[in-house]
Structure 1
Amino acid sequence: MPDLDYLRREIEHMRVQVGRQRREILQLQRAGLSTASAELLLGRMHTKIDDLCAQRDRLKKELPAPKGNVLGGRSW
């Protein structure tokens, strides 16, 4: 099972890829070409990101909560 850092890196990588794919779709549309297959790929990429985010959230819940590290709290 992948660890939390791997999932975060993979999500970020996929988001970059989605941005590139969107730009390519816009170029195809400006050229008057069909974008149906590119849009299907974009949909699969979004589904993959959603799955990775769900895995990440599940792993985050399984991690033990940090002890007493309150932001801006007193240090006695």
Structure 2
Amino acid sequence: MGLDHFRSKIEHMRIQVGKQRREILQLQRAGISTASAELLLQRMLAKIDGLCDERDRLKKEDGSPMKGRVLGGRSW
């Protein structure tokens, strides 16, 4: 799996986290327990952390010439 795969997976998971957070808010407003939904959210966030770690490891291995630069940023 390449770097682009991890980037797209991270983006997809972040979208899912946003949906999960909105769902939790709706449940809270309705007075419904959110314990299981919050546990799922924590697992999703842990998965994102793992994907980010793997992405960062691949970036180091890649030795990309843009290393250390922000997209559209200056090279100091």
Which bin holds the TM-score, normalised by the shorter protein?
A: 0.7 to 0.9
TM-score (norm 1): 0.84
- Partner of 2:31, secondary structure, is coil
Counterpart in 1 of 2:27? 28
Which residue identity lines up with residue 15 of structure 1 in the other structure?
R
Uncovered stretches (5+) of structure 1, i.e. residues with no partner:
none
Query: If the length of structure 2 is used for normalisation, what is the TM-score?
Result: 0.84
CA-atom RMSD in angstroms: 1.9
1:62 aligns with 2:26: no
- Equivalent pairs counted in the alignment come to 69
Shift of 1:12: 0.2
Structure of greater Rg: 1
- After superposition, the Cα gap between the structure-2 partners of 1:64 and 1:72, relative to the gap in structure 1 and judged at 3 Å, is same
